[in-house]
Amino acid sequence: MTGSILNLIESYPCGKREYLIPILQAVQERQGYLSKEVITAIGRHLDLPASKIYGVATFYNQFRFKPLGKYHITICRGTACHVKGSGSVLNSLTRSLGIRPGDTTNDGLFSLEVVACIGACGLAPVMVVNDQFHAGISPESVESIIAAYRGLEPNGEPLAGAEG
């Protein structure tokens, strides 16, 4: 944890538990996720046990406890995408990656996030990997997409559908 994160935490009033969510939001915005050290430092500052902070933070789906993966996957669960089967696409993604939304794979390659409408309803169901949109996805096609990203890695599986 950097000194600037500690300064950020300490810029909130000491011992005032009502600042827990604003502090968590501010730190995540700065650092991208909430590390163990950060949780401990917030606990010290607000006089709260770490277990209580984890309990609150996991209740709100917006918080992450690991850095984003190299490939950050955002899947839309808005109405248009839902109607076109984004629920089964999400199941396929969690199965292929072995993680739940809000988590990052142990190799640091993929992280998964569920969002409401991302403004591309005509492409439903849609997911975004970093800045790349994938439209009209299905449970099967996302597996190929994941395999293709793995194939970009030096020790990854070959690109799906790639020849030679």
- Chain residues in the site for ligand FES (CB under 6 A): 76, 78-81, 117-121, 124, 126
- Minimum distance between the CB of residue 75 and ligand FES, rounded to whole angstroms? 9
Distance CA 125, CA 66 (A): 27
Q: What is the sign, positive or negative, of the torsion defined by CA atoms of 89, 95, 98, 102?
A: positive
Helix (H) or strand (E) holding 97: helix 86-97
- Minimum distance between the CB of residue 79 and ligand FES, rounded to whole angstroms? 5
Residue with CB nearest ligand FES? 78
- Residue 32 token pair: 């991208």
Q: Which is nearer to ligand FES, 34 or 124 (CB)?
A: 124
Distance CA 27, CA 9 (A): 8
Q: Which is nearer to ligand FES, 56 or 117 (CB)?
A: 117
- Minimum distance between the CB of residue 112 and ligand FES, rounded to whole angstroms? 16
